[in-house]
Amino acid sequence: MSFFDNLSKKVSNTAKSAAKKSSNLVEIAKLNMNISSEEDKINKLYAEIGKIAYSSYSAGKEVPEEYKTQCESIKTCLDNIKNFKKQIMALKQIKECPSCGNELEIDAVFCSKCGAKQEIIKPENSEAKESDKNDTAEECDKCEDTQEEKSDNEQDDESETEVE
């Protein structure tokens, strides 16, 4: 075999193996995507199992001992969410119709959707705010006291250095 024959054979071999490698990379990427999609499915199914277990727990059914801790934690989270939603509604000055869940202005007397009579929610009591103001005023007095003491000390220090 001549040198050039050998060379051309080598070149075509490397080209082939490079092409094979790149097609393998594509294949590997596809397979990794398949793995991810199967893992996503598994996670959704795990979540579904969890929801089934939790709905039994919240319906008061007997739940296996090993799920109880997680179910209790989920209940706490749901209570927290309820509480946060209430706080948001208070900030937005809205309320929820207890019979249909429709969002209403805080001072609505009837639900605009189902017509149910609404409980009148009084705005945040102003008495509490006044007492807050008093508290901050006391704190300010304290701050001023400490500041005066400090400045007295500084003056003392300065006078001492002057004497020296």
One character per residue 116-155, x = contact with Zn ion (rule: CB under 5 A): x---------------------------------------
Distance CA 160, CA 164 (A): 6
Question: Per CB under 5 A, does 109 bind Zn ion?
Answer: no
**Contact yes or no for 118/110 (Cβ under 8 A):** yes
Question: Segment contacting Zn ion (CB under 5 A): 3-11, 22-30, 60-68, 102-110?
Answer: 102-110
Dihedrals phi, psi of 104, to nearest 5 degrees: -130, 155
Question: Segment contacting Zn ion (CB under 5 A): 48-56, 91-99, 120-128, 141-149?
Answer: 91-99
Question: Per CB under 5 A, does 108 bind Zn ion?
Answer: no
| Strand-strand pairing, 94-96 and 103-105 | antiparallel
| CB nearer to Zn ion: pick between 25 and 94 | 94
Render the burial of 7-36: b for 16+ CB within 10 Å, e for the rest.
Answer: eeeeeeeeeeeeeeeeeeeeeeeeeeeeee
Residues within the interface to Zn ion (CB under 5 A): 97, 99-100, 102, 111, 113-114, 116
